[in-house]
Amino acid sequence: MIFTIKKNSKLPILKMKIFKDGRNFQDVSTFMNLLEEQNVITFSMKNVDNNQYKIVNKHGVVLLKTPATENSVVEYYISYKFNEEETDTVGIYKGEFKVTFSNEEYIILPIQDELYIHIKDSFIQ
């Protein structure tokens, strides 16, 4: 997945859909039950050129997309909102969400594809 944001910007918010693929969690509700047990979601981002972290273990959030109808599938997203200091350097970064469970085990997301954040130059200062 590639996420693009402008230099010194706070928007858009980074959102990653939690997929129900049967390999990692039996269903999304199982994942959400794990999150409700006082588990922690953090976000980290490092520069791919020099392997230096720009963001380390900052608080992430789980969002629920409200179903349009009763029969709609419930969708969950993990998200992170950048601040201006975190986007002040143009470059390509690798991002990851870490879900740490109460027993201190953790899982790194995304599992299937890597998450790349492109911070692009902006015309506005």
* Rounded Cα gap, residues 81 and 60, in angstroms: 8
At position 59, the amino acid (one-letter code) is: H
The band of 18, judged by pLDDT with boundaries at 50, 70 and 90, is: confident
Of the listed ranges 8-12, 75-79, 94-98, the least confidently predicted one is 75-79
At position 8, the amino acid (one-letter code) is: N
The overall average pLDDT reported for the chain is 85
Q: How far is residue 65 from each of residues 6, 28, 34, 45, 77, measured CA to CA in Å?
A: 25, 13, 18, 25, 8
pLDDT, tens digit, 9 for 90 and up, residues 79-95? 999 999 999 999 999 99
Q: What is the mean pLDDT of residues 20-26?
A: 51
Q: Tell whether the model's pLDDT for residue 11 goes beyond 70.
A: yes
* Rounded Cα gap, residues 39 and 52, in angstroms: 27
Q: Tell whether the model's pLDDT for residue 43 goes beyond 60.
A: yes
